[in-house]
Amino acid sequence: MPPRTVVIGVDSSTQSTKAAFVDAATGQLLAVGRSPHVVTGEAGARETDPEVWWQALRDAVAAGLKESGVPAEDVTGIAVAGQQHGLVVLDREGRPLRPALLWNDTRSAPQAAALTAALGGPAAWTARTGSVPVASMTASKWQWLRENEPETASATAAIRLPHDFLTERLTGVAVTDPGDASGTCWYSTATGAYDPELLELLGLDPTLLPEVATTGAALAGSLTAEAARTLGLPAGIAVAAGTGDNMSAAVGLGLGGAGLLDHPVLSLGTSGTVFAASGTRPASAALSGFAAADGTYLPLACTLNCTLAVDKVAALLGLDRNDTAPGGEAVLLPYLDGERTPDLPTASGLLTGLRHDTTPQQLLGAAYEGAVVTVLRALDELLLACGLDPADPEVAARPLRLIGGGAQGHAWVETVRRLSGRPVVVPGSGELVALGAAALAQAAATGQDPVAIATAWDTGDDTRLPSVERDTETWERVGSVLERAAQPLLGGVN
């Protein structure tokens, strides 16, 4: 019997790092090592020292090796999928000059608005990058750094995204991929390269940026001797270019290369995200027209407030996260970190419709409803931007693939079913970002297509739930409050 080969897929997210040890032949998940991150900041600031990610990667790999019992010599490849948009600035020795500005840091909202205007408005940006600058985007954060910490900006010798930083630590090579690069707003999805005019607008020297690989599955390099000693892995194993977390989840789901919009996905995590694979480049101010890890496209819309915000409401009420009931007349928009979709970076949470008989369980239910309506409205915008009518019965009947931590929660799943009226599919694997990264690692080691690899792997049975009658009353009530909140001149919260 030939020796078993194992690949490692790394999910470096906002809150933690996971290292999934995967049987390269079958896709069997052998172990998942975990290590938490520390996020700091207040008043819109969200930061993490990139060295925390490197230490967490070391700890997660060590935990995975121990849990799986896999001999280190069986590992043949590794790839990192990371949280998108974060700004990492390094000195000439590759050391962070300051903590990374994370995707959910909203301080750069004024810079985002100014950049949008400087190029001539949203349409000019979507024509080039597929996306409009908001506070989440890396370009907005770089502009904030230039204006607020000019000495740090001047001292910057290299700029990386979170997954790029870790890939460079593994290989010594500065490389990114089209998927994660497309979330910077200085990479053009129209040309497949950094946009010189945008770099000039941002005062950004292109030599500070990593080379863009053809795909996230491209071989970035080999694991260096130093990184191998640190991680306890063999030197010289394949390291893929890697990608952003959403792009990696799409690979893990087997999405890619589609000529038409393929299988809408709703991810319930710290953020709420909706995306789908497309062979056609989208360009709409209503969504982020990202590239996919396989060289196609991944139209996506993202909300800032999802599971973490609702968990905060549960904690304030002293309730278990599943001790909930429909909100009744109460509407709670849990925009605790501002909001990205709709673009309300200075928003706060909003509660209305409170009555004497409103229960704590209903308030928690209202928080779920506010988060879910927000992300489902983003899904409608995504469908419209891709030429599909959300009200078309055929389109409305398409199942939603539900992923992320919230997909494992009864209250989240049932709220999505009730407010969408759609069938729901919960994939058998709960570690899709790490699984997608593992497929990228196997592709880098073998030259195979990563989507085909993930599709062929047996990763567990999906849970399929039928549709229920849509709760249009709650949908319309929450939507009405949300629309008013998005109009500050009419008394909203922005």
Task: Provide the pLDDT for residue 259.
Answer: 52
| CA 467 centroid distance within chain | 27
pLDDT the model gives residue 258: 57
- Domain 256-426+462-494 in CATH 3.30.56.10? The answer is no
Catalytic choice (177, 195, 245, 449): 245
Task: Please report, to the nearest 10 degrees, the dihedral formed by the alpha carbons of residues 399, 434, 48, 89 taken in order.
Answer: -100
Question: Phi-psi region for residue 194, left (φ > 0), alpha (ψ -120 to 50) or beta?
Answer: beta
Neighbours of 193 (CB within 10 A): 13
The contacts of residue 201 (CB under 8 Å, 6+ apart) are: 115, 118, 119
pLDDT at residue 494, as a whole number? 40
Is 91 part of the annotated catalytic residue set? no
Q: How far apart are CA 89 and CA 98, in angstroms?
A: 7
Compute the distance between CA of residue 258 and CA of residue 251 in angstroms, rounded to an integer: 12
Which sequence spans correspond to the domains of the chain?
A: 6-247+433-456, 256-426+462-494
Nearest in space to 301 (alpha carbons), one of 270, 266, 257:
266
Which tens digits make up the pLDDT trace of 97-123?
999 999 999 999 999 999 999 999 999
Position 257: which residue type? G
Please state, in angstroms and as integers, the Cα–Cα distance from residue 187 to each residue in 178, 203, 426, following that order. Answer: 8, 14, 33
Looking at residue 489, what is its pLDDT? Answer: 37
Q: Could you give the 3-state DSSP secondary structure of residue 389?
A: coil
What pTM, to 2 d.p., does this model score?
0.87
Q: What is the CATH number of domain 6-247+433-456?
A: 3.30.420.40
C-alpha 340/C-alpha 86 separation (Å) is 15
Q: Do the beta carbons of residue 370 and residue 334 sit within 8 Å?
A: yes
Q: Are 426 and 413 in contact (CB under 8 A)?
A: yes
With a cut of 50, which residues of the chain have pLDDT below it? Answer: 1, 489-494
Q: Given this model, what pLDDT does residue 458 score?
A: 77
Tokens of 408: 């494992």
Q: What is the pLDDT of residue 492?
A: 42
Dist. CA 352–CA 20, nearest whole Å: 43
Residue at token pair 């909003």: 350
The number of angstroms, rounded, from the C-alpha of 133 to the middle of its chain's C-alpha atoms is 16
Same fold, 6-247+433-456 and 256-426+462-494: yes
**What is the reported pLDDT for 40?**
95
Of 54, 153, 146, nearest in space to 97 by CA: 153
Question: What per-residue confidence (pLDDT) applies to 262?
Answer: 64
Identify the pLDDT of residue 188. Answer: 96
